[in-house]
Amino acid sequence: MARPSSRDSLIRATLETIILELVTINQRMPVIGLRVSQARERTGLAGLLSPALEEIDDVDECVSTISEQVTAALALLKE
């Protein structure tokens, strides 16, 4: 098996850093959603905060898509 080039190693390290940041986002987004949901219920600002919760769901989907793409790119580097 060929040794990875320094370019491939740099790309892999960058992608692994991105994955770690995405994991952090995935861990924090549910808590943020919960806080917004609680604020909506406690303040009566449903008209303002309900769209924010929908946007949080959109961000979660985007983060999942990015995670899948980065994971696929890492897999290609391993080939």
DSSP 5-73: PHHHHHHHHHHHHHHHHHHHHHHHHHHHHHHHHHHHHHH--HHHHHHHHHHHHHHHHHHHHHHHHHHHH
Name residue, tokens 């905060």.
49
> Whole-prediction pTM value?
0.79
pLDDT in tens, 20-40: 999 999 999 999 999 999 999
Query: What's 2's DSSP letter?
Result: P
Contacts of 52 (CB under 8 A, 6+ apart): 36
pLDDT in tens, 59-79: 999 999 999 999 999 999 887
Query: What's 36's DSSP letter?
Result: H
